Amino acid sequence: MKPFIISFLIVGFAIVIYAEVCTIGIKYSNGYMSQTGDNNGGCFGIDNSQSISQIIADPSVCYRLFQVFGCSRKEYCHACGTTTFPHNVVVSSILIMCNSSSVPGNCTQVQPLM
């Protein structure tokens, strides 16, 4: 019985740590790029010196964030500036529309709000 309990605790801790890594990935990628400076959680090909207008102007930055972090919740569509389920989101007066099927690298529309 004791080995079972120990195994259960180890698995439980592993799940918690895994979930925390995913959460940290979301937090650090919710800015316009990775706060760690390596851009893994931000946008591919985005330099930290680029402005929000330069970043948002390129819809190709939409991709699945969780593939980078190895997390299982890959239904997220990541456009630069936000991590979201596939629906319209407003970030710093920018409208980001991810496609309904969450295809990696595909944003239907990225435009400034009037």
Per-residue pLDDT 10s for the chain (114 aa) are 677 788 877 876 666 555 554 444 443 343 333 333 333 333 333 333 333 343 343 434 433 333 333 333 223 333 333 433 333 333 333 344 444 443 444 444 444 333
**Quick one: pLDDT at residue 69?**
37
Query: What dihedral angle (degrees, nearest 10) is formed by the CA atoms of 70, 30, 64, 40?
Result: -60
In a 3-state reduction of DSSP, which class is residue 91? strand
**Quick one: pLDDT at residue 7?**
81
What's the pTM?
0.26
- Do residues 107 and 59 touch, judged by C-beta distance below 8 A? yes
**Quick one: pLDDT at residue 4?**
77
Distance separating alpha carbons of residues 39 and 33, to the nearest angstrom: 6
- Do residues 104 and 67 touch, judged by C-beta distance below 8 A? yes
**Quick one: pLDDT at residue 95?**
41
**Quick one: pLDDT at residue 87?**
34
**Quick one: pLDDT at residue 15?**
60
The residue ranges of every structural domain in the chain are 2-112
- Do residues 82 and 99 touch, judged by C-beta distance below 8 A? no
